[in-house]
Amino acid sequence: MGTDAYADAAGLVARSAAAYVSSVPTDPADDGFFGPASVTWRLGGDLSSIVAGLRALLVQALHPLAMAGVDQHSDWRRDPVGRLAATSSYLATVSYGDRAAAEHAAARVRRIHSRVHGTDPVTGRPYAASDPALLLWVHATLVDSTVVACELFGTPVAPADGDRYVAEMTVAAELVGIPAALVPSDLAGLRRYLSSVLPGLRCTPAAADAAAFLLDPPGLDPDIAEIWGDIRDGAVAAMPEWALQMYGFGAPGALTPARRAEIRQALGVLDVVFLGEPGVLEARQRIALRMRAAQHA
């Protein structure tokens, strides 16, 4: 995939930072659906979150109906950075915003989904973005990726906190239109669900195109591109073996303690760059102060 076919990734950090800043409230009306004492807030601020997001996108793309909806109804090929920024803005709003802001953002997503339907050219099957089954796939892969990335490159999640995080995120699933009864409420249930979907997954041409962009975005600043190489390796190392096989990736290099430390260092460097963007430090401080107050309370 060359830069002549797709928009490049210039502005990735700046646009992602602006989306994040705009989504962290300065004067929230309430603590939102999770609150500063939640596992969701803690994991959302982990350095490994960029690996989690990249892994989630790669795994999500292997569902042919979910990928067909993105490919046929979004501008990800023309403006992939804009789509990534919009997604990160939504996640930050739902996580850290007050209830009204989260409900407003979710209602907008549901309206968009209601207009997204068609036929997957690979399987010939119809799809609708509002289908709870597709929404659940996207939800579950993100939750699973967050836990896996924390275990490998961030602050490990205690089993009880992992179960609590999965249970907390049921609220996020309901906001986009997934009935609560369908959503796994603990890690074991989450892994069982993911295993149950495997027979229907495959690497379509659209999924391969998306993966090529995500793993090697054209147009990155040279310094960011170097950091991205380590982050890409982290996401690939975190992927399940069946996903690597579907993409045709070779076995990733051994994740030795030294290599893991290098990837963590790259995540730290990227975070420093992110903090240098306007408003990010202040937004982080607002979150940290609220979390500290919750701990004292």
157-196 pLDDT, tens digit per residue, is: 999 999 999 999 999 999 999 999 999 999 999 999 999 9
How far apart are the C-alpha atoms of 52 and 92, rounded to whole Å? 14
Q: 126 pairs with which residues across the strands?
A: 119
Q: What is the pLDDT of residues 276-293, one digit of tens each?
A: 999 999 999 999 999 999
Q: How far apart are CA 16 and CA 237, in angstroms?
A: 24
Structure tokens at 45: 């601020």
Identify the CA nearest to 32 among candidates 290, 240, 215: 290
Q: What is the pLDDT of residues 39-62, one digit of tens each?
A: 999 999 999 999 999 999 999 999
Q: How far is CA 140 from CA 39, 146, 167, 173, in A?
A: 16, 10, 11, 9
List beta partners, residue 127.
118
| pLDDT > 90: percent of the chain | 85
Indicate if the pLDDT at residue 5 is higher than 60: no
The DSSP secondary structure of the chain, one letter per residue, reads --TTTS---TTHHHHHHHHHHHHS-SS-SS-TTT-TTSHHHHHHTSTTHHHHHHHHHHHHTTSHHHHHHHHHHS-TTT-HHHHHHHHHHHHHHHHHS-HHHHHHHHHHHHHHHHT-EEE-TTT--EEETT-HHHHHHHHHHHHHHHHHHHHHHS-PPPHHHHHHHHHHTHHHHHHTT--GGGS--SHHHHHHHHHHHGGG----HHHHHHHHHHHS-TT--HHHHHHHHHHHHHHHHHS-HHHHHHHTPPPPPP--HHHHHHHHHHHHHHHHHHHTSTTHHHHHHHHHHHHHHHHH-
The values of phi and psi at residue 119, to 5°, are -125, 130
> What is residue 234's predicted lDDT score, i.e. its pLDDT?
96
CA-wise closest residue to 6 among 82, 87, 76: 76
Where does the pLDDT of residue 222 fall: very low under 50, low under 70, confident under 90, or very high at 90 and above? confident
pLDDT for 285 equals: 97
- Tokens for 102? 């989260």
Question: Which string of b and e fits 140-163 if b means at least 16 CB within 10 Å?
Answer: bbbbbbbbbbbebbbeebeeebbb
Using alpha carbons, list the distances in angstroms from residue 107 to 97, 191, 202.
Answer: 14, 28, 30
First to last CA, the chain: 52
Beta-bridge partner residues of 118: 127
pTM: predicted TM-score of the whole model, two decimal places:
0.94
Mean local confidence (pLDDT), 136-151: 98
**Domain assignments of the chain as residue spans, ordered by start:** 12-296
Whether the predicted pLDDT of 201 surpasses 80: yes
Distance CA 296, CA 255 (A): 38
Residue 3, pLDDT score: 37
Q: Is the pLDDT of residue 8 over 90?
A: no
81/246: higher pLDDT: 246
Cα(189)–Cα(274) distance, integer angstroms: 35
Q: What mean pLDDT value characterizes the chain?
A: 93
